[in-house]
Amino acid sequence: MTADGARAGDRGRGWRGARAAALGIVTNGALVALKGVIGVAGHSQALVADAVHSASDLINSVIALGSFLYGSRPPDWNHPYGHERAEAFASTIAGVLIAVAGVLVARDSVLALTSASHEPPSLLTLVAAAVAVVVKFALSRYVGTVARQIDSASMRAEARDHVIDVVVSLVVIAGIALARLGAWWFDGAAGLCVAGFIFAASAGIVISAARELLATSLSPTQRQQIVGVASSVAGVRQVQAVAGRTIGHTILVELHADIDPALTVAEGARIVDAIKERILREMTNVRTVVVELNTNEFEPPALRLMAPPGHERRAQSDPDARSRE
């Protein structure tokens, strides 16, 4: 993959994500108005809580849209690996705001349960909740498809939140229906359930974003795949270690490869170029590859600490492996 092709792919990815986020903004804005107005007029705390939940989704969609527009910018001198970590930062903010919404929903639901007035919800609140189920189900399918196609953490978070919204709206429908049948407290209880879903969604988003912001290393499967690809290059004796980190939807890879130390600098450079070319070609999410050859003395700490799975066993079975450096 060429640099120009990668940048064009990033721009296309950014615009597809931006369109999905914009659709989420329009849809959630309409649902907030629908559920909020009908919930208040129809005396349903559960539907009002669902409106607050949709408002948190609206905030999440706005932040996701901003992160896509910013993250699709090309690398510059101050951000040589691009701006894609903006997605993780945006997801963190969204997760915190969603948690705040959960606190407000829980408070209002408790107040509804302890209130002296127990007027049953109107039939219109059931209709509004049913409309929300249909709309959110369709939106979750669309955003989920886009998230898989562009491999976006923030879009996956938004798609997951839309799925949760479907479940939440079903809980709201059940609470309203039971409250209309005389069990008035089910409406407030449904509101508390909505608050629980909001807290769970918030925690999932924040934890996922934190893993990326803390530069969690590659998974064992990813490392083994990189070892296999690099080891297949002619002239590579052994891949001693692999480390890396994710930046948005892309991966930066560092690896230590052993080659014949008697080779010329030009021959070694050709092997390094071949390693980079093969990894970039066979692993589409990898954007940057750094190769360290035949040395441990000045090796980056990540490579000393993050030997690939099975490396220790290979070293024990082949004690001369390190001496070949």
pLDDT tens, residue by residue, 237-259: 888 888 877 766 678 888 888 88
The yes-or-no verdict on residue 306 having pLDDT over 60 is no
Instruction: Tell me the three state secondary structure of residue 291.
Output: strand
The yes-or-no verdict on residue 81 having pLDDT over 70 is no
The yes-or-no verdict on residue 64 having pLDDT over 60 is yes
Q: Identify which has the larger pLDDT, 307 or 120.
A: 120
Q: What is the percent of the chain with per-residue pLDDT over 70, rounded to a whole number? A: 75
The residue-averaged pLDDT of 120-133 equals 89
Cα distances (angstroms) measured from residue 146 to each of 9, 169, 248: 14, 23, 15
Residue 233's pLDDT is 92
Phi then psi for residue 181, to 5 deg, are -85, 0
Q: What is the pTM of this model?
A: 0.57
pLDDT tens, residue by residue, 132-176: 999 989 988 888 888 888 776 667 777 877 887 888 888 888 888
Domains of the chain in sequence order: 3-213 (1.20.1510.10), 220-324 (3.30.70.1350)
- Going by pLDDT thresholds of 50, 70 and 90, the confidence category of residue 100 is confident
The yes-or-no verdict on residue 264 having pLDDT over 50 is yes
Residue 283's pLDDT is 84
The residue-averaged pLDDT of 118-144 equals 87
Residue 37's pLDDT is 92
- Going by pLDDT thresholds of 50, 70 and 90, the confidence category of residue 269 is very high
Give the strands of the sheet with 250-258, arranged side by side: 238-247, 250-258, 286-293
80-84, 135-139, 290-294: range with lowest mean pLDDT:
80-84
- DSSP alpha helices (H): ranges in 283-310? 301-305
The residue-averaged pLDDT of 287-305 equals 70
Residue 75's pLDDT is 66
Best-predicted range by mean pLDDT (101-105, 127-131, 181-185): 127-131
The closest alpha carbon to 254, from 298, 299, 289, belongs to: 289
- Going by pLDDT thresholds of 50, 70 and 90, the confidence category of residue 217 is low
Tokens linked to 3: 């640099």
Handedness of CA 306, 307, 308, 309 (dihedral sign): negative
Is the distance from CB of 126 to CB of 173 less than 8 angstroms? yes
